[in-house]
Chains A and B, each alone.
Chain A
Amino acid sequence: MLEVQNLSMRFGGLLAVDQVSLDVQEQEIVSIIGPNGAGKTTVFNCMSGFYKPTGGKIIFKGKEIQGRPDYKISRLGMVRTFQHVRLFTRLSVVENLLVAQHRHLNTNMLAGLIGTRNYREREQRALDRAAYWLERVGLLELANRDAGNLAYGQQRRLEIARCMVTEPSLLMLDEPAAGLNPAETKELNQLIVSLKEAYNVSVVLIEHDMSLVMDISDRINVISQGCPLASGTPEEIRQNDDVIKAYLGEA
């Protein structure tokens, strides 16, 4: 469903991403790993339309999307979280989820002012969907708190819920386990697997926590200094000499 071909991104003299390719099938969890500064987030930024890649193709559901504006790409059903949580901090938790459902809502202003039946029905469905996902990530009790007042782990979960209410087909998670304690990481592990199994979502995961990556990934892509280093199943990656060298070299 997603194919990235020879993606390159150059910032002035720095080639941050060099000829990276990867593909994601339906209901698959694909991880991108690599040392700090390898260019993982930059790959995400190109895929989500935040940067315009300087080379290569990104094909999502048969359409070439490289260089399209970010808000259009996300409307195609490809949404992301951020390495540093980006919530609407002064909005309440549930409002964060309502904003995300913009494209499912009746945004005709007149309809909203009058409160037509269609408008109210869609608004109610959005509320129900928000309630469902809040329950799912254990935040229903906190629905009317300001999102900025949540604990860090809760903020991470809210960010994932905020993506899920858009009903995406591809979810991109940038280091979702960063800053979580072991118990929370375990919950996250189960959540991601259930997203794939129960909600038919494919996941692209950037993560430094190797046990999480090895546990849930169907396939793994390793990049180092912008270049693709290896790709394959967790088993293959574990035994790959280049990867071992890169990681041992780093340590």
Chain B
Amino acid sequence: MVKNNLGHAAFCAIVTVIISFPILGLNLEARGVNITLTGASTSTYVAILVAAATVFVFQTFRDSLMGLLRKAPKLNPISRKQPMERSRRVKLESWIITGIVIFALFWPFFVSRGSVDLATLVLIYIMLALGLNVVVGLAGLLDLGYVAFYAVGAYTFALLSEYMNISFWMALPIGALLAGITGMILGFPVLRLRGDYLAIVTLGFGEIIRILLNNWTSLTGGPNGIGGIPDPTLFGMEFGRRVKVEGNTSFHETFGIAYSGEHKVIFLYLIALVLAVITALIIRRFMRMPVGRAWEALREDEIAARSLGLSRTAVKLSAFTIGAFFAGFAGTVFASKQGFISPESFVFLESAIILAIVVLGGMGSQLGVILAAIAVTILPELAREFSEYRMLIFGAAMVLMMVWRPQGLLPMRRTHIKLNRQE
């Protein structure tokens, strides 16, 4: 087996050299007006050779190494235990989830402002990933332009507040609805497409929306973005030091406490938490309703689904619309959190990251997607020192995951349905 790999391994090593040598081994240096080509230091060449050798060794022993990796879950002590009885497991799970939500409610009062801010971002990604999970995980429609709906939600709030002074709470449903409608409209032309073709067209739609926002300068401010987006209020109480909108009161004065910038951050976090929980609950409900089963049926076999009377148009559009709706939700929260948005925040990389979260978590699995959203948002922050290598680490993690657990962190489990024997 090792012998068979030798040729392949040599090829991979050569490719490594061919790719890395021009990038790392050659430098363009500006000397006055001229640009000259110089070689890099010897240590760089050594590094390239070491890398090539590593690739060679890895590819040679690939099969046995991958075999070891696949065995990795067996090291996990619980995997050997008998699976728990179903009713007990369901009960335990719901207790754990309730516990986590309660913990999440009180946690921000004991930690730093930065952590709460990051947690809010995590919650926004959870909403996005749960929404995309409907489209990709359940309905099986590979959407690479999902960030467009996030942008629609964010820009709706930004524009409404700028031009019409509309508050966060009014903008939240409007933003989500508009995003949902956009999802439906963009869904029409791609009804007949699937797989790669669908991916490319949705990718295009995502870019179109971003470019539109970038160039419609008179309305959106173009690349300069829109600033001064208001914070949410609590029953007409503002969280700023001074009241900005007439008729509102200020939170710290009403309660007679000292002003603190943290109140606002915590409040936003709590809003995001509540919205994320609502998103998860609604989508979970959808999954057990006729529409959710229809999404999955269409993913499994479109021809069979149609032969049973399911309309492809209705099922696909509902998936696109509902997925986009929750992206709009997330977008509104994001705009409020940042206070400033520009097309920069809605690039393709965002779509890719949200998709990565869904795939890592396990297509269709809500708990998995939530875990993955936490991991993907927090890990890069913890590894700040390596921030230059962020994408590298991210890519490597994706590759490892797909080898180790192609079905995702927590693959979707079907709900048990109890039937009564009929006579």
Contact = CB atoms under 8 A, between A and B. Distances in A.
Nearest to A89: B300
Interface in B305-326: 305-312, 318
Interface string B286-301: 1001110110110011
Given A94-B419, A107-B290, A144-B417, A88 B307 contact: no
Contacts, number: 119
B349 interface: no
B420 interface: yes
A112 B291 contact: yes
A98 B307 contact: no
A31 B310 CA distance: 27
A100 B294 CA distance: 9
Given A107-B290, A107-B291, A74 B309 contact: yes
Contact of B417 (A127, A132, A163): A127
Contacts of B312: 71
Interface in B403-423: 414, 416-417, 419-422
Given A131-B419, A144-B416, A91 B311 contact: no
A134 B294 CA distance: 20
Contacts of B296: 88, 90-91, 95, 99
What are the nearest 9 A-B pairs in CB distance?
A88-B300, A86-B304, A132-B422, A131-B419, A112-B289, A99-B297, A74-B309, A75-B309, A105-B290
A87 B305 CA distance: 9
8 contacts: A74-B306, A79-B308, A86-B301, A91-B293, A94-B419, A102-B294, A131-B420, A131-B422
A166 B310 CA distance: 12
Contacts of B414: 91-92, 95, 144, 146
Contact of B285 (A48, A74, A98, A112): A112
A103 B290 CA distance: 10
Report which residue of A69, A72, A95, A102 has the largest number of chain B beta carbons within 10 angstroms of its beta carbon.
Answer: A102
Residues of A contacting B: mostly = helix
A113 B282 contact: yes
Contact of A80 (B301, B307, B420, B422): B307
A40 interface: no
B375 interface: no
Interface residues of A, number: 45
Nearest to A115: B285
B18 interface: no
Contacts of A72: 309
Interface of A: 48, 50, 69-72, 74-75, 79-80, 82, 86-92, 94-95, 98-100, 102-103, 105-107, 109, 112-113, 127-128, 130-132, 134-135, 140, 143-144, 146, 162-163, 166
B19 interface: no
Given A94-B417, A143-B417, A88 B301 contact: yes
B74 to A, nearest CB: 23
B310 A99 contact: yes
B303 interface: yes
Nearest to B282: A113
A206 to B, nearest CB: 15
A10 B363 CA distance: 41
Interface in B257-291: 282, 285-286, 289-291
Nearest to B314: A107
Nearest to B305: A99
A135 B421 contact: yes
Contacts of A69: 306
A230 to B, nearest CB: 29
Given A95-B414, A113-B282, A90 B300 contact: yes
